């Protein structure tokens, strides 16, 4: 231990400051005489200075005391302390200059301190006072460091955020980490240094992990290329290197953050893809100053749509949902983040025609984004009447009212489970698609359908479930080792819905590029590693078998569908078969069956409407025979 941890008495600090000032004065005289002088000259200068020395000490003491430069904790010296010392030494020099003029004019004709000495003394005393404090601070920090290294660290990103991460690590005395270097995707930075720390190209990561025994990588790039980030993270997981990331700059306090805010990376960061490029002007041209209704506004997609639409300054944004508490949370978020947004919160059920009629007649929306739906496959398999009531009847209410109230565009959020459905939920969404498409030819309202796969982090999705199971110590339950799914983030899905909705001319089903499908069991294994756990030792994976209605593989297109490109590379237009007019009567008959509460009759009618609906691992398989 180089320094005591207790605070130094303030009088000791003041005495040291005065001593260093006298040392600076002595040094200034040495410089003035070029480090040599005759004895006679020295005695002559001392005769003049001796009458001033007491005044020098008193002035220094009073000014230092006045600016309280002795009050700051030396071991925690900051730029604010430097500023205060600079002002104090400069004020002292000004005071000496004024007193020197007074002495020269009214006392003995000599200045208090020669001008050249005064200038050198100012520079020297400032340097000594500041240097002493920072020297003690460095010694203190060194003495507090734990000599045992817990982690060998790489920082991914050699920019401003990476530099801030390095400095934050160095300030935190509670952890013992050795910074090996930075890695960066920019090849031009490779071989350079940042504050004495080497920068390597990210292609050298595996070599560094092996040669430097890297145990921790911190992602400090605020908006990294998703493919590069995925490659880096998966390399770390392969070699059991923990991965953490720096928080968004929005959460930094006064431009700084704490090492406690550096969090483990999430699985979303591995599945997310390149940022979507939107036609912002086109979207704004459509939505600005318009009345817009979002159904299911408290849900994952609905609330995401609300956040996206709020940026385009609608005339009024209507938030509709029957879930009171989640809708209350969305309302509070909007009040906090968008204080100038004109919005209305409506508690209501899309299944109630009269409630929806009143809503349309009161607010007269020009755009409807329909995200309200029941979506959980096993639950709808056990409750087909409710799936029909919400997903079919609710959609029919909104479609009909949009047409009769001159809505410009009706954009429906559908699902990949509507393609060759194997369950009640998927079939109910396909029936809703059929009804919306058929209405497109009946009036001026343009009906558009958007279809995509699983959404990361949405309510009830697999990732929050896996995370809860990991937090509880396992096991993680996977239905089948072969199950694969497409994934998309909530912002991605909402952005593409907006883009498709504004480009659509009516009658289209837009299919989103979901990237590569992901094996659910691989997803579980990666989440285990990201949590710092070891499969088979800390946590287990349990295979439970397919749930009723569940598919092994999801599809975005039916067998008799193909796609056409659009102006957006991540949005394709599905070419779907033309439904016969009698289908609408069958849909109306299906809704009427709700009153009988006969599940077999309801599902049987659904299979009549959607011939490709073949049940899987379900009690309703008997209806396919």
Same domain (yes/no): 591, 454: yes
The CATH number linked to 197 is: 3.40.50.720
Mean pLDDT value across residues 21-36: 72
- The whole-number pLDDT of residue 75 equals 57
Same domain (yes/no): 162, 223: yes
Mean pLDDT value across residues 83-97: 79
Same domain (yes/no): 477, 578: yes
C-alpha to C-alpha distance for 388 and 609, rounded to whole angstroms: 13
- The whole-number pLDDT of residue 2 equals 46
C-alpha to C-alpha distance for 371 and 403, rounded to whole angstroms: 18
- Give domain status of residue 396, yes or no: yes
What average pLDDT is seen over the chain? 81
Between 169 and 352, whose confidence is greater? 352
- Give domain status of residue 495, yes or no: yes
Looking at residue 596, what DSSP letter applies?
Answer: G
Same domain (yes/no): 330, 472: yes
Same domain (yes/no): 441, 520: yes
Number of domains in the chain: 3
Same domain (yes/no): 64, 204: no
- The whole-number pLDDT of residue 274 equals 61
- Give domain status of residue 26, yes or no: yes
Same domain (yes/no): 157, 129: no
Q: At what angle do helices 490-503 and 280-287 cross, to 10 degrees?
A: 70
Catalytic residue selected from 417, 429, 446, 551? 417
Same domain (yes/no): 436, 386: yes
In terms of Cα–Cα distance, which of 252, 78, 66 is closest to 165? Answer: 252
Same domain (yes/no): 459, 482: yes
Where is the domain boundary, 265, 282, 308? 265
Asked if pLDDT for residue 305 goes beyond 80, the answer is yes
Q: What are phi and psi of 505, to 5 degrees?
A: -110, 5
**Lowest mean per-residue pLDDT among 21-30, 67-76, 301-310:** 67-76
Where is the domain boundary, 113, 144, 175? 144
Same domain (yes/no): 261, 160: yes
SS (H, E, C) 417-450: HHCCCCCHHHHHHHHHHHHHHHHHHCCCCEEEEE
- Give domain status of residue 314, yes or no: yes
Same domain (yes/no): 192, 229: yes
Q: How many CB atoms lie within 10 A of CB 55?
A: 16
C-alpha to C-alpha distance for 475 and 477, rounded to whole angstroms: 6
Residues listed for the chain: 625
Domain around 39? 10-144
- Give domain status of residue 281, yes or no: no
- Write the burial class of residue 360 (CB in 10 Å: 0-12 exposed, 13-18 middle, 19+ buried): buried
Record the pTM: 0.67
**Lowest mean per-residue pLDDT among 4-18, 210-224, 365-379, 411-425:** 4-18
CA dihedral of 598, 602, 603, 609, whole degrees rounded to 10? 160
SS (H, E, C) 320-351: EECCHHHHHHHHHHHHHHCCCCCEEEEECCCC
- The whole-number pLDDT of residue 366 equals 95
- The whole-number pLDDT of residue 463 equals 77
- The whole-number pLDDT of residue 557 equals 54
Helix (H) or strand (E) holding 309: helix 300-310
- Give domain status of residue 272, yes or no: no
pLDDT tens for 251-288 read 565 556 666 667 677 776 676 666 566 677 888 888 99
Between 137 and 477, whose confidence is greater? 477
- The whole-number pLDDT of residue 72 equals 58
Predicted confidence band at 243 (pLDDT cuts at 50, 70, 90)?
confident
Predicted confidence band at 1 (pLDDT cuts at 50, 70, 90)?
very low
Between 504 and 81, whose confidence is greater? 504
C-alpha to C-alpha distance for 603 and 424, rounded to whole angstroms: 7
- The whole-number pLDDT of residue 149 equals 62
Asked if pLDDT for residue 446 goes beyond 90, the answer is yes
Three-state SS for 49?
Answer: helix
Where is the domain boundary, 103, 129, 144? 144
- The whole-number pLDDT of residue 34 equals 61
Same domain (yes/no): 201, 89: no
Percentage of the chain lying above the pLDDT 70 cut = 81
Mean pLDDT value across residues 588-617: 89
In terms of Cα–Cα distance, which of 371, 388, 386, 395 is closest to 299? Answer: 371
DSSP characters over 230-285: HHHHHHHHHTT-EEEEPPPGGG-BTTB--GGG-EEPPTHHHH--SPPP--HHHHHH
Percentage of the chain lying above the pLDDT 90 cut = 23
- Write the burial class of residue 335 (CB in 10 Å: 0-12 exposed, 13-18 middle, 19+ buried): exposed
Between 444 and 36, whose confidence is greater? 444
Between 431 and 133, whose confidence is greater? 431
Highest mean pLDDT among 70-74, 144-148, 361-365: 361-365
- Give domain status of residue 285, yes or no: no
pLDDT tens for 502-512 read 888 888 888 87
Between 272 and 465, whose confidence is greater? 465
Asked if pLDDT for residue 564 goes beyond 80, the answer is no
- Give domain status of residue 191, yes or no: yes
Mean pLDDT value across residues 194-208: 87
Q: Is position 625 annotated as part of the catalytic site?
A: no
């Amino acid at each position: 231990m180089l320094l005591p941890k207790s605070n130094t008495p303030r009088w000791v600090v003041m005495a040291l400051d005065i001593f260093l000032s006298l040392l600076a004065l002595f040094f200034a005289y040495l410089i003035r005489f070029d480090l040599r002088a005759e004895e006679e000259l020295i005695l002559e200068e001392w005769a003049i200075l001796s009458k001033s020395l007491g005044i020098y000490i008193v002035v220094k003491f009073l000014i230092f005391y006045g600016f309280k430069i002795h009050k700051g904790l030396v071991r925690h010296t900051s730029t604010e302390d430097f500023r205060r010392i600079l002002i104090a030494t400069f004020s002292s020099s000004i005071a000496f200059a004024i007193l020197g003029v007074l002495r020269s004019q009214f006392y003995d004709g000599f200045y208090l301190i020669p001008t050249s000495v005064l200038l050198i003394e100012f520079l020297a005393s400032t340097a000594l006072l500041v240097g002493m404090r920072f020297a003690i601070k460095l010694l203190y920090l060194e003495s507090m460091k734990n000599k045992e290294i817990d982690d060998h660290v790489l920082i991914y990103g050699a920019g401003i955020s990476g530099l801030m991460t390095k400095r934050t690590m160095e300030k935190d005395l509670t952890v013992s980490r050795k910074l090996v270097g930075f890695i960066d995707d920019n090849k031009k930075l490779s071989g350079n240094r940042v504050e004495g720390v080497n920068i390597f190209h990210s292609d050298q990561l595996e070599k560094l992990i092996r040669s430097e025994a890297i145990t921790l990588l911190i992602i400090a790039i605020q908006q990294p290329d998703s493919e590069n980030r995925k490659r880096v993270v998966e390399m770390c997981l392969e070699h059991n290197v923990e991965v953490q990331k720096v928080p968004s700059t929005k959460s930094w306090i006064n431009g700084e953050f704490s090492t406690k805010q550096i969090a483990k990376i999430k699985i979303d960061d591995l599945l997310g893809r390149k940022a979507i490029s939107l036609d912002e002007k086109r979207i704004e041209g459509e939505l600005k100053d318009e009345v817009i209704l979002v159904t299911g506004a408290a849900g994952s997609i609905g609330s995401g749509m609300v956040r996206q639409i709020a940026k385009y300054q609608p005339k009024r944004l209507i938030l509709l949902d029957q879930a009171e508490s989640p809708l209350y949370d969305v309302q509070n978020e909007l009040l906090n983040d968008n204080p100038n947004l004109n919005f209305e919160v409506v508690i209501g059920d899309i299944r109630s025609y009269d409630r929806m009629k009143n809503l349309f007649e009161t607010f007269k929306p020009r755009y409807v984004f329909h995200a309200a739906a029941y979506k959980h496959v096993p639950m709808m398999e056990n409750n087909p009447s409710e799936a029909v009531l919400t997903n079919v009847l609710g959609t029919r209410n909104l479609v009909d009212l949009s047409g009769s109230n001159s809505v410009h565009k009706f954009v429906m959020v559908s699902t990949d489970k509507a393609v060759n459905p194997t369950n009640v939920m998927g079939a109910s969404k396909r029936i809703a698609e059929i009804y919306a498409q058929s209405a497109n030819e009946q009036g001026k309202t343009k009906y558009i359908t958007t279809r995509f796969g699983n959404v990361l982090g949405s309510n009830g999705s697999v990732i929050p479930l896996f995370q809860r199971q990991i937090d509880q110590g396992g096991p993680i339950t996977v239905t089948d080792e072969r199950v694969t799914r497409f994934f998309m983030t909530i912002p991605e899905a909402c952005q593409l819905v907006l883009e498709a909705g504004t480009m659509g001319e009516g009658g289209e089903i837009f299919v989103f590029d979901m990237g590569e499908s992901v094996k659910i069991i691989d997803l579980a294994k990666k989440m285990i590693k990201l949590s710092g756990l070891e499969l088979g030792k800390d946590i287990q994976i349990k295979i439970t078998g397919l749930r009723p209605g569940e598919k092994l593989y999801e599809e975005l297109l039916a067998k008799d569908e193909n796609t056409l490109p659009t102006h957006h590379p991540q949005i394709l237009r599905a070419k779907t078969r033309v439904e016969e007019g009698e289908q609408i009567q069958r849909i109306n008959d299906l809704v009427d069956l709700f009153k009988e509460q006969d599940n077999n009759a309801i599902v049987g009618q659904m299979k009549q409407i959607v011939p490709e609906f073949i049940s899987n691992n379900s009690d309703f398989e008997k209806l396919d025979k």
